[in-house]
A = this chain, B = another copy of it.
Amino acid sequence: MIIVLKPHPTPDVVQHVLERIEALGLTPHLSQGVSRTIVGVIGDEEKLQVEPLQAIPGVEQVVPILKPYKLASREFHREDTVITVKGVKIGGGHLAMIAGPCAIEGESLLMEIAGKVKEAGANILRGGAFKPRTSPYSFQGLGEEGLRILRAAGDTYGMPVITEVMDPRQVDLVERYTDIFQVGARNMQNFDLLKELGKTRTPVLLKRGMSATVKDLLMSAEYVLSQGNREVILCERGIRTFEDSTRNTMDLSSIPVAKGWSHLPIIADPSHATGKPDLIPAMARAAVAAGGDGVHVEVHSCPEKALSDGPQALLPEQYARLMEDLRQLAELMGKSIDVCEGESVSCARC
């Protein structure tokens, strides 16, 4: 940690800063330059909190040198984390292909979509039973009945399933049905929820908040990891910017940045990032080419009748074409897409 003092500090100010650091059992290291006086701190930087130091009169700036997360850091854990869910690997060269409707609307519809995405090559089935909707008047999800349907569809097709959890009170219930918890962008800093999930041993897919930096995302992962659950999958789903041609701006550089800083797998969600089906295939390909560990795509067989986020869903046949491209791209990148077990069944269009 480096503490920069304001110009022309009095000896008292310098003395006070040195005393505060020594009181914490650390060694200060004073450098007096032409224009500024700087105090470096040697020892266990973690003992120092940036905030109280910044509040000392005469301190201009405190520059932390170490990253504030530990368990999520690649310095702490050099190898890529590989997460295995019902035989499907995620990370370390294995791509997660998550697909399904935004919301679970009924059993026959989900079965139909599940069959089709399985056939196209998806290896994890998604579907929302608890929906975080901007409007209190929008469809809020089927709740436990939705979870039951999702589990049934996953079992039918031998696919692991993922679904969103929004409330710490739902963690036990949702865990009974799902293979992966999803934490939505709006809950990325719902710290009570993260702590509750950290106490389970079910993997957590953590979506980046719309105003979260990559560092913030890793700090939120740290909340889960620090409670003992080491299986976190990061997910880029777009950040909020002034550009209005897409729902959010997909920040694909977060993929190589996160992979440099952390050992956790990171996937991309072009459905929520763009909000436009026309753009999803291009951005899904780009995510894999950028080194992403998977792609999360919403698929619905009748988008215009979907109860939630219909306009951003691909049709099953569009998804099948995209998976063709992604398989070739994965091969070029030296990566594999695990196939999940269970048999595909054919089903009629809606």
Contact = CB atoms under 8 A, between A and B. Distances in A.
Interface residues of A, number: 107
A328 B328 CA distance: 11
A7 interface: yes
A219 B134 contact: yes
B186 A166 contact: no
Given A63-B2, A243-B239, A189 B134 contact: yes
Contacts of A288: 289
A291 B303 CA distance: 25
A68 B135 contact: yes
What number of copies of this chain does the assembly contain?
4
B38 A34 contact: no
A213 interface: yes
Interface in A204-241: 209-211, 213-216, 219, 222-223, 226, 239-241
Contact of A214 (B63, B133, B245, B254): B245
Contact of A33 (B40, B57, B291): B40
Interface stretch (A92-100, A121-129, A273-281): A273-281
A303 B283 CA distance: 32
Interface centre among A34, A57, A215, A279 (most CB of B within 10 A): A279
Nearest to A225: B136
Contact of A40 (B31, B169, B242, B274): B31
A223 B140 CA distance: 12
Nearest to A102: B51
A329 interface: yes
A24 interface: no
Contacts of A346: none
Interface of A: 2, 4, 7, 20, 29, 31-36, 38, 40-46, 49, 51-57, 61, 63, 65-66, 68-69, 75, 132-138, 166-169, 186-187, 189-193, 195, 209-211, 213-216, 219, 222-223, 226, 239-246, 249-257, 260, 273-274, 278-279, 282-283, 285-291, 303-306, 308-311, 313, 328-329, 332
